Structure 1
Amino acid sequence: MTFRQFAFNNIMRNKRTYLAHFLSSAFSVMIFFTYALLLFHPNLQGELASTSKTMSQLATMGMRVSQYLIFIFSFFFLLYSVSAFLKIRKKEFGILMTLGMSPKQLNKLVFIENMMIGMAAIITGILIGLVFSKLILLISASILYIEKGLAFYIPIQAVWTTAGAFFLLFVLISLFTSRTGTRVQLTELIRSDEKPKPEPKASLILSLLAVLLIGAGYAMVFLFAVQRLFSLILLAAGVGFVVLGTYFLFTQLSVYVIRALKKKERLFFNKINLLTLSELSYRMKDNAVMFFIVAVISASAFTGIGTSLAIADPGLAEMTNPFAYSYSSSPDNRLKEKHLQEIKDQLEGANLSYREAKVVPDYTENGKTILKLSEYNQLAVALGYPAESLNEEEAILVPGTIAEKDRFKKNDRLPVSATLMQGKLDISLTVKKAAPYMVLPSFRNIVVVADSLYDRISESSGLQEYYYFAVDQWQKSRGVALALAERIPPDPEADYYLSSLVFEWLSSKQSNGILLIVSVLVGVVFFTFAASFIYFRLYADLERDERQYQMISKIGLSKSELRRMVTRQLLLLFFLPIVLAVIHSGVAFMALQFLVDYSIAYNSLIVFSSFVLVQLVYFFVIRWRYLGHLYQKLV
């Protein structure tokens, strides 16, 4: 038997231990290949550029940054997992060295084993990526709203880039672990599984600090969103406090709580609680860092994906412009009537109901935008808001920006009067109302006055006219917008300008679609790494658990009691970090809700339910296999 055959047989004998490592490695290769598949697609850049000139650059940057993230995190994950696997095999290495294997040969053995697993993961990951490449392109085209789709192509460059990058990564991992993972004394290698674990300890002060840090972090995030104190330092401090508090929660508070429960004799000595709580205290301490990583990574993935879905919502586009089509015209524009009729004809031809409004705003010498009451009522009624009434001594303030709208909603520092200065006129009007909704986008300091007062103030002739069209289902008007763009072509030197909300929304949808693809794939990779950590920790302790439960079964532990005890432990191991991640993300979504006018609850529920469902399926599969192994030892 050659040395390579010996290394291969070692892998096959430990295939249960290395399975999670191999699958996670192959999955990270597949995700990296997916990014490369999109990055090198020959048609991606041209299609995105047709909607927005910056989208192609954003797509390229997003895919490249994501590849770097996957590569870096894969390195640390693989380094951690391989190092952990080597610790499990300390006794095996000690036996090999007792039989005459030199440290140099042991290093060579570890290097060859890691490279074999790495090459198998690279081939498997690329093959799976190739099998699902057409589906990936279809989904990406749908998310990025590319009408013509992304054609299938032979991704030779993506294959070589992925293979080369991960071959280098596995070489580095293999060299590093072979040099550092086996430098242990022979006696320590042989007696590695006989060392007793120390009693888990926790600090009351650090446990309380965990709660205080998480509470302070939440408060800072809400202060950022509710009070609109848009400070990067405040937001970063809030996130940092939550992350640090999460670390202390798992390393200190969780152990402290279990120890406190063990001191309650009625609870501790009730049936199998003695075994369950005793085992949990050790498992929580051993897996605290893993739980912390899983919780933080999962919370980041949930928040990133949910935020991307919320930003791509059409409600965000409506926040800045509630009208589907806006047409501005100068008095010298001879095509005005033709263009307006074309807009109406296209909307009617598409069976889209619409409401039209026309305004001619004027500007005073002291920087106010004045608007006739009758024209304001046209805008308000078109959007479904009530009409207003005024006399010549009254005025209504109307927000033109999101910041003004939020201030008007809160009645924050609203003036009691509005001063209008025009020529010799200096008029002070009583503010009757500050409208809490936008009806005239892109204008500032809007003051609605009575028609008679407007006619007296406005001395200018030849003012720009604005026509607005409110459409109920404007998201379905892409065909109308394309036809209008062809019949009313944009021209910087023309006397008119037509804007379509659906184009602005699609541009935003594409940019956030890129963010969605990036966040989803990176989040799924992190989630897979977290799942493999749990798998490894369970099966790393499986032999010890088998011996332990075998001894306990001799004094009367039944299979049903074993099933209940293992289920309780696995529920905590699988869902404690996920529950905390959901809480962290829920706070982030609640804060985001204060910044937007539309509901993001649906997007949040989609994200949470998807990941929890996957985790639930994974839990039942692992529980079934884990109990199966234990039952075999109890026979």
Structure 2
Amino acid sequence: MLISIIWRGFKKQLSNYLIFFFSLIFAVMVYYSFTAMTYEQPLIRSAGKNTQLVGMLGFGSFAVVVILLFFMVNTNRFFIENRRKDISIFHLYGLNYYQICLWFILEILFIGIFSFAVGISLGVLLSKLFSMILVKAMDLPLKVHFFFSTDAILATGLVILFILAVVSFQILWLVSGSKFSHLKKLRLRKIQAMKIPLWQKVFGSIGALFLLSGWLMAIAYIILARKASDYFGLFQGNALLMGLIFVLCVIGSYLFFAFTLRWYNSYRPKRLNKNLGILSRSEWQLRLFSEWRFFGSITVALGLALAFLGGMAAVASLEMRSVNEIAPTSLMITRQSYEKLAPKLQSVAPYQRQSLHFKAVPGKQNVEISGEGTNSQPEIMDMVSISDYRAFQKINPTLEDIQLKSARSAVVLSSYQRYFNDYTRYSKSIYLKQGKLTVQRTHPNFFGDMSLRYGTGMIVVSDEIFNETPGLSYTIEAIDVAPQNENKLNHLIRQNLKGDWDYPIHYDLSWKNKQIVGEITVGEGPKKDGSTIYRSEYTSHQENYRSTRSSLGLILFVVTFVTTTFIITTASMVTLRQLSEFKQKRKKYGLLRQMGIPDKAIYREINRENRVVFFIPAILALIHSMLAISVFSHIAKNANYGFVYLFCGLMLIVYALFYWVTCVYQKKIL
């Protein structure tokens, strides 16, 4: 008899366990796939040491474990809370505390072991797909083969055993008599949820105020950030402002669910009397009384996950864009090294070649960075003529069109355009030894790697100014080959060039009596004080592209799958709670039918309750993440955020799918 009662209690929870089971399978599959790739030697060798493949995949595996542990602990707590009646029956039949705990632990172990077996099977089958996605993301020249790793299976098994052990200890704590007496008291106190005393209204107002303050500060971020940077410093000011916005949004989210929404639901407009809206508000008010921590945690965690993904996507887009800044053509090389390599370049013919003539000249332009002061000291500037600029533009279409308005006009090509562009202000004048230039505009610097040149700044001037300005002349050769010859060119470079740093110059410049004093000399200086500058030998587009794409592709791969896992597990947790709560409400809906309420109105009420539970946390998290991205956009000005916007849409789709499944199932069992 007891066995049949236990089995009947287990079957009542079977639908909930199925969602728990499928979510656990997905997490095991992802963890195994990440771990297996760390043992896939062809993939590791092809990725190279610089990408730190094993470390990044290890971080992804750890993140999946944390998500899985969070999911199982929260879900297990909910299962135990909803089986208090079963525990009472077990006590009546003579089972002691340890026997009840043992039964629940055996249930979790059975589901965990079965999920592990299915998850590993799917992971083994789909590991090739995961590897193919990673290889594509990193743009590796590698053919992926089926790979099976016993070490990865063993590692996954140990992790699952650890999580099941943690959950087992949690069961021992939750099933304790004191814990359940507390839970019973909590159930009895739920009637208090219908009363909103003055102090709760005050906290509800504070929650709404915190949220609105955090959002408005994020919208007006650049204005506040400049003031904070001027007062505290660039990095400290931005960090403090971001921290303040984060704290306001986190505390505001918890207070919003604990008090603000409950206060709002305590109102009963007359329009709700026409349908079951009053019932819906009452149910939501009761849920918020006991589960506000859960909804607040889901909101904050989802917002953080999407914001983190947005930050990584911003950095990735900027770094990929920087490849064109560093290596706008297939090869940029010093004139001296080009003369050695020129006879061998016929193997990659035909190719385009453009000689870029530069002058390293003393110059002074005030550059003010918020919170960091103004750099007003003379420095070395690279000067290029407008004719060379336009000639280079023919093989480098990323360069902006420039029309100088006068012979004394100049255009600054700045490397500050990628980050903190809104915090940087350039003076409208550039002082040279022979006179002053007027800054016409400032553009991003897509003129090649700065290490190939001497100056920290670069200016485009008229041919007349370029010819009459004395300075240290040097030449860089820009070579562009057809895409199919990129590999040949790169092989030629590796065979003949070492990538050394050479051609040193020394400078000693100062600003006295409104004039630049000092000279630039060839060779190393007498002291190693940072006033000696070297140039690198070459920069290759393919080398830069592959190293950047490999690193960033790996990061986005890991962050994307971790974020996807988290979105699915949180949606599963909400679904489990809804299905379990619904089984306790079936009698209530049965009474509504007996009172003559049509099924259509009851179904509308079910949909309304599910919409509130699923989409209020999701939409609030979406607002948090979108405003976080707007903050990032002020720091990383020209980044592409399309990827994270796509993921925000994906989150809504996943939640909508779980919402639909929940509604369909509830209507089916009603």
Aligning the two structures, in what range does the TM-score lie when normalised by the shorter sequence? Answer: 0.7 to 0.9
- Match for residue 304 of structure 1? 308
Query: What is the letter of the counterpart of residue 466 of structure 1?
Result: I
Q: Structure 2 counterpart of 1:281, which letter?
A: Q
Residues of 1 paired with 2:89 and 2:613: CA distance?
33
Q: Counterpart in 1 of 2:414?
A: 400
| 1:255 counterpart = 2:262 | yes
**Per-residue displacement from partner, 1:197-243 (whole Å, max 9, x unpaired)?**
43345533322322332344345556666757443333233223222
What SS is found at the alignment partner of 1:436? strand
Tell me what 1:54 maps to.
50
Q: Which secondary structure state, in structure 1, belongs to the residue aligned with residue 274 of structure 2?
A: coil
| Aligned position for 1:480 | 485
**Hey, what's the Cα distance between the residues in 1 that align with 2:546 and 2:337?**
32
Give the match for residue 328 of structure 2. 323
Give the corresponding residue for 2:383: 370
Alpha-carbon distance in 1 for matches of 2:432, 2:183: 87
Partner of 1:352: none
In structure 1, C-alpha distance between the alignment counterparts of 2:178 and 2:385, rounded to whole Å: 85
Equivalenced residue count is 599
Query: Residue 453 and residue 617 in structure 1: after superposition, are their counterparts in 2 closer, same or farther (change >3 A)?
Result: closer
User: What is aligned with 1:174?
Assistant: 168
* CA drift at 1:62: 1.8
> CA–CA distance in 2 between the matches of 1:185 and 1:143?
49
Deviation at 1:403, TM superposition (A): 4.5
Offset at residue 564 of structure 1 (A): 0.9
Q: Check the 8 A contact 2:416/2:444 in 1, yes or no.
A: no
How many Å apart are 1:387 and its aligned residue?
3.8
What's the counterpart of residue 276 of structure 2?
272
Among 192, 199, 206, the alignment partner of 1:209 is: 206
The letter of the residue matching 1:369 is D
Cα separation, 2, equivalents of 1:403 and 1:593? 12
Q: Compared with structure 1, are the counterparts of its residues 66 and 301 closer, same or farther at alpha carbon in structure 2 (3 Å cutoff)?
A: same
- Distance, in Å, in 1 between the alignment partners of 2:241 and 2:128 is 44
Query: Match for 2:467 among 455, 462, 479?
Result: 455
Seen in structure 2, the aligned counterparts of structure 1 residues 620 and 429 have a Cα distance that, compared at 3 Å, is same
Distance 1:597 1:615 in 2: 31
Shift of 1:535: 1.8
**Structural mapping, 1:29-178, within 5 Å:** 29-49=28-48, 53-55=49-51, 57=52, 59-178=53-172
1:543 corresponds to which letter in structure 2?
A: K
Task: Give the TM-score, by structure 1 length.
Answer: 0.84
SS in 2 for 1:30: helix
Give the direction of change, closer, same or farther, for the CA distance of 1:14–1:144 in structure 2 (3 Å limit).
same
Question: Does the residue aligned with 2:440 lie in a helix, a strand or coil?
Answer: strand
Gaps of 5+ in 1: 348-354, 422-426, 631-635
Post-superposition shift, 1:401?
A: 0.8
What amino acid is aligned across from residue 324 of structure 1 in structure 2?
A: T
Question: Considering only aligned residues, what root-mean-square deviation do their CA atoms show, in Å?
Answer: 3.4
Structure 1 residues 332 and 536, CA gap change in structure 2 (3 angstroms): closer
Residue 26 of structure 1 and its aligned partner are, at CA, apart by 2.7
Pairing 1:333-412 to 2, within 5 Å after superposition = 333-335=338-340, 337-338=342-343, 345=350, 356=354, 358-364=356-362, 366-367=378-379, 368-379=381-392, 382-383=396-397, 385-389=400-404, 394-403=408-417
Choose from 418, 423, 436 the match for 1:429. 436
1-structure distance, mates of 2:241, 2:188:
49
Question: What is the identity, as a one-letter code, of the residue corresponding to 2:125?
Answer: V
Paired position in structure 1 for 2:652: 612
Amino acid at match of 1:554: Q
Contact 1:94/1:186 (8 A) holds in 2:
no
Equivalent residue in structure 2 for 1:292, among 293, 296, 300: 296
Q: Is the 8 A contact 1:396 1:432 kept in 2?
A: yes
Partner amino acid, structure 1, of 2:201: L
Structure 1 residue aligned with 2:476: 466
How has the CA–CA distance of structure 1 residues 337 and 458 changed in structure 2, closer, same or farther, with 3 Å as cutoff?
farther
Report the CA distance between 1:67 and its aligned residue: 2.2
Q: Equivalents in 2 of 1:190, 1:290: separation in Å?
A: 19
Of the candidates 580, 586, 591, which is equivalent to residue 540 of structure 1?
A: 580
- Structure with bigger strand share is 2
CA shift for structure 1 position 375: 2.2
Does the aligned pair in 1 maintain the 2:578–2:662 contact within 8 Å? no
Q: Indicate the larger mover: 530-539 or 434-443.
A: 434-443
1:234 and 2:234 are equivalent in the alignment: no
Does structure 1 residue 526 correspond to structure 2 residue 566?
yes
Higher mean C-alpha displacement, 326-335 vs 111-120: 326-335
Q: Is the 8 A contact 2:138 2:554 kept in 1?
A: yes
CA distance in structure 1 between the partners assigned to 2:26 and 2:485 by the alignment: 43
Whether the 8 Å CA contact 1:328–1:464 is kept in 2: the answer is: no
- Aligned amino acid, residue 264 of structure 2: V
SS of the equivalent of 2:410 reads strand
Shift of 1:186: 9.1
CA distance in 2, matches of 1:104, 1:505: 61
**Corresponding residue number in structure 2 for 1:23:** 22
Cα distance in 2 for residues equivalent to 1:117 and 1:9 = 17
SS in 2 for 1:101: coil
Deviations 1:602-622 (A, max 9, x none): 323321222222222222121
Q: Work out the CA distance in 2 between the residues paired with 1:522 and 1:182.
A: 35
Hey, what's the Cα distance between the residues in 2 that align with 1:193 and 1:135? Answer: 48
- CA change 1:362–1:404 in 2 (3 A) is farther
After TM superposition, give the deviation of residue 599 of structure 1 in Å: 6.2
Deviation sequence 1:434-483 (CA, Å, 0-9, x none): 333424342423234443343333254xx431234689xxxx94x43322
Structure 1 contact 398–447 (Cα < 8 Å) conserved: yes
Corresponding residue number in structure 2 for 1:560: 600
Unaligned runs of 5+ in 2: 227-233, 364-377, 503-535
Query: TM-score of the superposition, structure 2-length normalised?
Result: 0.80
